[in-house]
Structure 1
Amino acid sequence: TQALIEAEIYFKININCIDPLGRTALLIAIENENLELIELLLSYNVYVGDALLHAIRKEVVGAVELLLNHKKPSGEKQVPPILLDKQFSEFTPDITPIILAAHTNNYEIIKHLVQKGVSIPRPHEVRCNCVECVSGSDVDSLRHSRSRLNIYRALASPSLIALSSEDPFLTAFQLSWELQELSKVENEFKSEYEDLSKQCKQFAKDLLDQTRSSRELEIILNYRDDGGILEDQSGNDLARLKLAIKYHQKEFVAQPNCQQLLASRWYDEFPGWRRRHWAVKMVTCIIIGLLFPVFSACYLIAPKSNLGLFIRKPFIKFICHTASHLTFLFFLLRASQIGNKTKTDTEPNNIEWIILPWVLGIIWAEIKQMWDGGFQDYVHDWWNLMDFVMNALYLATISLKIVVYCKYRHEKATERHLWDTWHPTLVAEALFAIANIFSSLRLISLFTANSHLGPLQISLGRMLLDILKFLFIYCLVLLAFANGLNQLYFNYDTTNNTKNCTGIRCEIQNNAFSTLFETLQSLFWSIFGLINLYVTNVEPKHTFTSFVGATMFGTYNVISLVVLLNMLIAMMNNSYQLIADHADIEWKFARTKLWMSYFEEGGTLPTPFNIIPSPKSLWYLCKWVQKQICKKYTKQKPKSFGTLGRRAADNLRRHNQYQEVMRNLVKRYVAAMIRDAKTEEGLTEENFKELKQDISSFRFEVLGLLKGNKLKLQNAKMNNVSEEEEEKSKPKVNKSRTQKNTFSFFDITTMIHPKAGEIAADKHNNVSNGSALLASEASKEKPKKIQFAKDVKTFGLFHRHKTSNTEQSSSKIYSVSEEILEPEISSPTEKLLTSVKSQELTSELNVNKLEEQCIGTHGTMGTLECLSSEHSPSGYTSAKESPSDKVNHTLSTDLKSDMKSTPEEASTEEDTTTRL
């Protein structure tokens, strides 16, 4: 910061300058992930701009933390004009940090933003007609649509849902359904919205994957959030699973954990059903199916008995209902084989009387289903629509039978060939035949329970949709050519001349295009090759008319057969392939809907026993009538506080259990997501930080080895000289004492050298760890102050040092701040501390010079060699601890002992120095 301030003062450097690409120094530092430079620039209050958005897009977590914790200055700084241009910015105005972070789906960045209280506003509905939506769409419709898309892309982020939603499952369900509806309205962004919808569905499925026990799974699937705390809620009705089916969460429903729980409930009475042989399964189902009247009678008489409870099991209920429907189909088949009504018969036969209770039971079951589930849910199921048509046909048949009985019971029976075309019996038979077709096809819905026939049944349903799409286009083509051919041939009608047969169903086809209805029939049957080409001829020899008619007829066949029919085949093939690619999910979802219909409490008895009022139903009816009659005269008793308290406690307990399970699932999901991201990405930001730290550590180890080798070579050169000086100084003890006094400065400098090296290493480690915010507090600790004694003799070491240090102190270079503070130092202690600090700050740049000074001061190299040989007798030093490091440690220890020595220990110190 000081350097930047001086540079701005003396050199007038603009810290907010930009390069040719429009990037500031802060953006370049973010791109290079240089957190130390980012912190330095922010401390100088550099212009931030869109730096936070750039850091989020680059997913530099450390830079995001620095920018979030940075407080913008109150005063305005000069900003390059190009940065103020919205057209130059890489981000649109609607992109906020939380939206961009959700787009990247970076969990750590989203967590930091959410902790700061940032949220995303919920967009309005696509059909909203408020002033804001209408004005925004009128001003710029593209920006309005893109802004909505960006918001929904952020809301669909799995990390954001996991961090900000209290109920991630419910949020994912509702959001996926809303995105699916948006894809139908905004066709321009249909693929984007569909992808986001699939993303939400996959998130719900992945979150459910984290369940580890049946208890957690039951708590999730049985949770209900649409009731109040005082309402009576059932804790075992799979409310969350029903909600998933309602929102078409196929991945969630088909998840293995969910399917395992459903299977265990489906085969409640037969825990080892799947492990049994297929022959045993078939025999068991046949026996239960044959005994369904016995089970139904037991349930009617004693609902709480063992047999009565047995038929309430989902699997047993399914077998009984299937057996009942097969019995109904058998009687329908039998009705078509009995009786040959050539004359008018107003009374129904015995088979028809047997079929009547089944028809009434089916109609009652459909009415009850519509009442319990609601009309909207009822019509959304195609099988219910089919049942509705079938029941309508049966009711129409019964009505016509009643008309025949009332109208013709007193008349004389007539032969069938004498009946009118619209005779009620003929119409009733036609409707009854169509209803029988629907009844037989209804059996296909039961194929869903089988793993082999289920996918085929789903493919058939998807193909029916394709056929309906094809018929819409084909009907337009058919009507167009029918209109043209009828216009051409209606003047050539030969009906009066043809006495025996008229139309295309005759042995000799004629008048194929005489009327519009006959033309439509002729063109339809021509697809199957049942119309001959001679129908285009006319009785007069009008060759041109016949040629034009044949050309029109041929063109129609080319379009219908070559183009449209092959298009239908391609569409059906595509639909089947889509089902085949997702056969497991589609089949399990359809099977779950079938199973859930039998998990309900109602609808236990199969037809026709369901129309028989049971004692339980009669009791409920009596209570309801009594309640309605006595409603005006009796007041409803308020529920006791104990009942309400227990109910509230149970509901609160379920809610707390659900929240606890959700927290565990979210933690597991986040851990799995981070683990998968590291596996997929390979190298991450943390890997680069560790690599930088390893390289810096290796660098300092190499520098230590080089320094140790250099000292070792210098020690070898000076070895002989030091030995000669020691031999000459043996008789002169006083001289050695004098050398001890001059040795004190070497003690100080050797202590400075390792200390400065450690500080440099610590600083480098702090730089290489990649995060200035996470730097250890140890690197920020101030040097500890040395406590000196007040005795004058204690300062003898500094007085002895003063004379030997005069020449070196004159050649020191001080910075500006140190020159200002130097005159204020008065005492010898403060001067020594200042000298030590200056030596520590300049040790990284003057290591070699410091070593030369240490070696050349009063011939202390001999002492250095002596100390190194004393601490390593074999002369061997490892790579991790060089000889210079050992000497520095020994000399620093001597210095500390000199500082802490008392006046009484002065003589002992001199003796120790003499031995050294």
Structure 2
Amino acid sequence: QVPTLMMDTQFSEFTPDITPIMLAAHTNNYEIIKLLVQRRVTIPRPHQIRCNCVECVSSSEVDSLRHSRSRLNIYKALASPSLIALSSEDPILTAFRLGWELKELSKVENEFKAEYEELSQQCKRFAKDLLDQARSSRELEIILNHRDDQSEELDPQKCHDLAKLKVAIKYHQKEFVAQPNCQQLLATLWYDGFPGWRRKHWAVKLLTCVTIGLLFPVLSVAYLIAPKSRLGLFIKKPFIKFICHTGSYLTFLFMLLLASQHIVRTDLHMQGPPPTIVEWMILPWVLGFIWGEIKEMWDGGFNEYVHDWWNLMDFAMNSLYLATISLKIVAYVKYNGSRPREEWEMWHPTLIAEALFAISNILSSLRLISLFTANSHLGPLQISLGRMLLDILKFLFIYCLVLLAFANGLNQLYFYYETSASEEPNNCKGIRCEKQNNAFSTLFETLQSLFWSVFGLLNLYVTNVKARHEFTEFVGATMFGTYNVISLVVLLNMLIAMMNNSYQLIA
């Protein structure tokens, strides 16, 4: 008989919500967990973090700490490697989903963020350690090609599409994907048809890549004519496809370079110029890019498509190209003849098309950064760049607050002293004049002035006024100087420190 004292919760070492299997899972006791699982003892799954059922609401209202602690104890038990291995039909998938769920919980339960993140890392390590147990390439292929929706009517070709690896990528399981066994299998599939590629001399590698890259038009035509032929199957190999796509994209960038250099002479004052030969040659690539994005969205789904930053960049790039083509068609149909560019209206379709085409050229060139992942030296730099961009966004949030604060103050101080263009030298008004003036006359002009002052493009005399109001000038100069100290000395150095930390995490 259990003594009454031990049954009293006040003298118990554990809270009432902890069951024997939970206690065994907390200590990762394999034998006890196995014994309890064989007797069909289970751990109930907790409700969703945002659940509004009567049970969750009442429990949280009575004792919110006990409610949160009870949830944490359950997840601490569910994350036990021994429990996952003994109770799950697919331990790797269970570890993936549980790790993702714990990571999401850490964003909501801020008070227990460290505990949930540690449990998430524990699940990731368990999935990685399971993959470590593979002793041959055959076992590794079976694990990585395993699907959780196996059925008789399933397409046999889809059983060799690395389904488990795709799930790992979906749940951001970096440790699992970066595991040496997994990477070796990926390298074997990547260099299919090129045995011993890594051991070859760099000159042989370069010559092979250049040759295949130059032959990509021939290989593409052969694939279109006979996709099942030997040559058609050759171009479907991952490494060959990568080289051909890279060669095609470099050719596209070369065409953009030719278009920007205006090698084809045209009338610069033509309001609706017809497309040049180079622009006609660029069009098939643009249509191909658009078709590729549509196909990727159709195959992978909209949610997966928008979660890839490169896809969003491709969408923006293709949208700009489509807008450019549309505006050029409008200009060609609507306008006839030549007219000096100085007399064109600001929103002329040709001018807007040229501006959009220039922006799309920049995005197209920057898209090459995605190829860095194919190189072990440049790949980490690309990841660091992505983290740094997030740091810059955080920095811009603080900087915009500082910018708006000082812009509002300076505009309030100086808008009384606004002058007209006729009162200024050369009838020029604004900070783009040879002698800058009216830098803080309007809120928009003040925002521009403060932004460009970060790059040293604004002179101190813009704080002067024509009236002899020395106190106003002193206050304005002090505010302007304080802004520069905060933005350049404090915020800029903070940004450098943040970016350096992001780089160190990857390097």
Please indicate the TM-score interval, normalised by the length of the shorter structure. over 0.9
Q: CA deviation at 1:331?
A: 0.5
Q: Which structure 2 residues correspond to residues 720-799 of structure 1 after superposition, within 5 A?
A: none
Q: Which residue of 1 aligns with 2:496?
A: 569
Determine whether 1:144 maps to 2:67: yes
Q: Which structure 2 residues correspond to residues 361-380 of structure 1 after superposition, within 5 A?
A: 361-380=288-307
CA distance in 1, matches of 2:220, 2:12: 75
Q: Which structure 2 residues correspond to residues 462-501 of structure 1 after superposition, within 5 A?
A: 462-496=387-421, 497-498=423-424, 499-501=426-428
Alignment match of 2:269 (pick from 343, 347, 350): 343
Q: Which amino acid aligns with 1:145?
A: S
> Secondary structure at the residue paired with 2:134?
coil
CA distance in 2, matches of 1:473, 1:555: 16
Q: Which residue of 2 aligns with 1:183?
A: 106
Q: Which residue of 1 aligns with 2:78?
A: 155
Greater relative contact order, per chain length (Cα 8 Å cut-off, separation 6+): 1
CA distance in 1, matches of 2:242, 2:140: 25
Q: 1:341 to 1:195 in 2, by over 3 A?
A: farther
Q: Which residue of 2 aligns with 1:382?
A: 309
Q: CA deviation at 1:116?
A: 3.6
Between 288-297 and 335-344, report the one with greater CA deviation: 335-344
CA distance in 1, matches of 2:427, 2:326: 36
Q: Which residue of 2 aligns with 1:733?
A: none
Q: Which residue of 1 aligns with 2:242?
A: 318
Q: Which residue of 2 aligns with 1:98?
A: 21
CA distance in 2, matches of 1:418, 1:539: 36
Q: CA deviation at 1:117?
A: 3.1
Q: CA deviation at 1:341?
A: 4.5
CA distance in 2, matches of 1:138, 1:366: 49
Q: Which residue of 1 aligns with 2:283?
A: 356
Q: Which residue of 2 aligns with 1:290?
A: 214
Q: CA deviation at 1:336?
A: 0.9
Alignment match of 1:193 (pick from 93, 99, 116): 116
Percent identical across equivalent pairs? 79
CA distance in 2, matches of 1:386, 1:183: 30
Q: Which residue of 2 aligns with 1:668?
A: none
Alignment match of 1:396 (pick from 317, 323, 335): 323
Q: Which residue of 1 aligns with 2:50?
A: 127
1:398-455, Cα deviation, whole Å (9 max, x unpaired): 111011101113xx31111222222111111111000000000000101100011111
Q: Which residue of 2 aligns with 1:451?
A: 376
Q: CA deviation at 1:231?
A: 3.8
Q: Which residue of 2 aligns with 1:766?
A: none
Q: Which residue of 2 aligns with 1:537?
A: 464
1:185-222, Cα deviation, whole Å (9 max, x unpaired): 11111111111111100000001100101111111111
Q: CA deviation at 1:340?
A: 6.1
Q: Which amino acid aligns with 1:203?
A: F
CA distance in 1, matches of 2:268, 2:89: 73
Q: Which structure 2 residues correspond to residues 16-55 of structure 1 after superposition, within 5 A?
A: 45=1, 47=2
> Secondary structure at the residue paired with 1:95?
coil
Q: Which amino acid aligns with 2:217?
A: P
CA distance in 2, matches of 1:94, 1:429: 68
> Secondary structure at the residue paired with 2:446?
helix
CA distance in 2, matches of 1:228, 1:306: 32
> Secondary structure at the residue paired with 1:538?
coil
Q: Which structure 2 residues correspond to residues 571-650 of structure 1 after superposition, within 5 A?
A: 571-580=498-507
1:798-821, Cα deviation, whole Å (9 max, x unpaired): xxxxxxxxxxxxxxxxxxxxxxxx
> Secondary structure at the residue paired with 2:427?
coil
Q: Which residue of 1 aligns with 2:445?
A: 518
CA distance in 2, matches of 1:369, 1:473: 37
Alignment match of 1:214 (pick from 132, 137, 145): 137
> Secondary structure at the residue paired with 1:522?
helix
Q: Which residue of 1 aligns with 2:257?
A: 333
Q: Which amino acid aligns with 2:451?
A: F
1:351-378, Cα deviation, whole Å (9 max, x unpaired): 1111111111111111111111111000
Q: CA deviation at 1:342?
A: 2.9
Q: Which residue of 2 aligns with 1:252?
A: 176
CA distance in 1, matches of 2:432, 2:266: 26
CA distance in 2, matches of 1:231, 1:433: 47
1:604-652, Cα deviation, whole Å (9 max, x unpaired): xxxxxxxxxxxxxxxxxxxxxxxxxxxxxxxxxxxxxxxxxxxxxxxxx
Alignment match of 2:364 (pick from 431, 439, 462): 439
CA distance in 2, matches of 1:415, 1:209: 71
CA distance in 1, matches of 2:273, 2:179: 57
Q: Which amino acid aligns with 1:383?
A: W
Q: Which structure 2 residues correspond to residues 673-692 of structure 1 after superposition, within 5 A?
A: none
Alignment match of 1:553 (pick from 480, 488, 492): 480
Q: CA deviation at 1:309?
A: 1.2
Q: 1:341 to 1:508 in 2, by over 3 A?
A: farther
> Secondary structure at the residue paired with 1:439?
helix
Q: Any unmatched runs of 5+ in structure 2?
A: none
RMSD of equivalent CA atoms: 1.4
CA distance in 1, matches of 2:55, 2:136: 48
CA distance in 2, matches of 1:342, 1:175: 62
1:563-586, Cα deviation, whole Å (9 max, x unpaired): 211111111111111112xxxxxx
Q: CA deviation at 1:396?
A: 0.9
Q: Which residue of 1 aligns with 2:166?
A: 242
Q: Which residue of 2 aligns with 1:796?
A: none
Question: Larger Cα Rg: Structure 1 or Structure 2?
Answer: 1
Q: Any unmatched runs of 5+ in structure 1?
A: 1-44, 49-78, 581-916
> Secondary structure at the residue paired with 1:336?
helix
CA distance in 2, matches of 1:304, 1:384: 30
Q: Which residue of 2 aligns with 1:277?
A: 201
> Secondary structure at the residue paired with 1:120?
coil
Q: Which structure 2 residues correspond to residues 814-829 of structure 1 after superposition, within 5 A?
A: none
> Secondary structure at the residue paired with 1:87?
helix
> Secondary structure at the residue paired with 2:43?
coil
Q: Which residue of 2 aligns with 1:228?
A: 151
Query: What TM-score does the superposition give when structure 2 sets the normalisation length?
Result: 0.96
Q: CA deviation at 1:312?
A: 0.8
Q: Which residue of 2 aligns with 1:646?
A: none
Q: CA deviation at 1:517?
A: 1.1
Q: Which structure 2 residues correspond to residues 687-702 of structure 1 after superposition, within 5 A?
A: none
CA distance in 1, matches of 2:25, 2:485: 54
Q: Count how many residue pairs are aligned between Structure 1 and Structure 2.
A: 501
CA distance in 1, matches of 2:10, 2:477: 65
> Secondary structure at the residue paired with 2:14?
coil
Q: Which amino acid aligns with 2:181?
A: N
CA distance in 2, matches of 1:143, 1:160: 24
Q: CA deviation at 1:228?
A: 3.5
Alignment match of 1:89 (pick from 12, 22, 37): 12
> Secondary structure at the residue paired with 2:160?
coil
CA distance in 2, matches of 1:540, 1:340: 53
Query: What TM-score does the superposition give when structure 1 sets the normalisation length?
Result: 0.54
Q: Which amino acid aligns with 2:463?
A: T
CA distance in 1, matches of 2:399, 2:218: 53
Q: Which amino acid aligns with 1:155?
A: L
CA distance in 1, matches of 2:222, 2:89: 47
